[in-house]
Amino acid sequence: MTGRPIYLDYNATTPLDPEVIDAMRPYLEERFGNPSSGHFYGIEAREAVDQARARVAELLNCSPQEVVFTSGGSESNNYALKGAALALRHRGNHIVTSSIEHPAVTEVCGWLAARGFEIASLPVDDYGMVGVADVEAAFRPDTILVSIMHANNEVGTVQPVAEIARVARRVGALVHTDAAQSAGKIPVDVAALGVDLLSLAGHKAYAPKGVGALYVRRGVTLEKFIHGAGQEAGRRAGTENVLEIVGLGKACEIARRGLADHAGHMRSMRDALEEGLRTRVAAMRINGHPVERLPNTLSVSFRGADAQELLRAIGDRVAASAGAACHAGGVDISHVLRAMRVPAEFAPGTLRLSTGRPTTMAEIEGAVRAICDYL
């Protein structure tokens, strides 16, 4: 990595864990069978898929039969929302979500709204937290589904999903949560959360891009999303992506066995980054909940700064994300920062800095120097 910028964008994507690469390698070479084939090569592939499904289930604390492999978090969200809405349309057409969801949820809600569903998009507080009371107040007799993310991808705020699920039970609404950012960083236990549907993305958890999973609680019926030969217990047609499914399974195994250690390391790196900036920059603010926040995520705003210009200036030293995009007509502040009412003098200067398992203290110190040299 010598000569390459310091990578602090782990919420965007993660590198493949070396163990994941090792687990996948045989499926790039001699283990090429179709899991639906009844001969040796097919059985070999089927057993690999089954093992991976069991590993995902162990991370989520569910049955392997409740895990559906998908192409990633976006497909999982699409399948969950469209599948549940269409399957339950005979009961109602009202869906509750929040104003800070990922586009893979908000765009789906827009698609459903164009087809007659009513969407209630709830506000958040200044920390980016959805209020349980607001969710409960939004319920109607025809509410069929609630979709609230487990942790926000921009500011890291962890939502009270378990409490939301408890109030949703009273009206009989299904509960979906997008756990793309939380899995592998904090416990993601579907039993403790009380959810019916949960989305997982491989490339946020040191597995390949292009693979994910959807937890579907036993007894929940979804309208089919992809029709075909009936793979994935008839829920998602298409020959399984064995190579990447194996990678996802291995990544989930690694995440489960090292969850506390990984979280502790990422938190210590994040906190060192925050402290380093605080000691050298007076006009800054931290976005997100001070406690209920992902251990690796730091959303920081610098008063009067332009985050895009900052990132361009230090691009050969640090790779990170901005919370606002500049264009000819002005500045587009992210929908999350707008929903949190981040002050106008701070919002354009927002960086999302996210640490990972490989992050080192030397990298943190280098990033602080690079940012402060610009400011």
Residues identified as active-site: 326
> By the 8 A CB rule, do 152 and 100 touch?
yes
Give all strands (DSSP E) within 190-237, no chain letters.
197-201, 212-216
- Reduced to 3 states (helix: H, G, I; strand: E, B; else coil), residue 248 is helix
Q: In whole angstroms, what separates CA 268 from the centre of its chain? A: 21
Query: Using N-to-C axis directions, what is the helix angle for 242-278 and 40-60, rounded to 10°?
Result: 30
- In degrees, to the nearest 5, what angle opens at C-alpha 206 toward C-alphas 257 and 162? 65
**Which H helix or E strand runs over 313?**
helix 307-313
CA distances from 63 to 210, 225, 251, 354, 358 (A): 23, 21, 18, 31, 31
Helix (H) or strand (E) holding 108: helix 103-113
Is 174 exposed, middle or buried (CB count within 10 Å of its CB: 0-12, 13-18, 19+)? Answer: buried
| 115 phi, psi to nearest 5 deg | -110, 20
Burial class (CB in 10 A: 0-12, 13-18, 19+), 324: buried
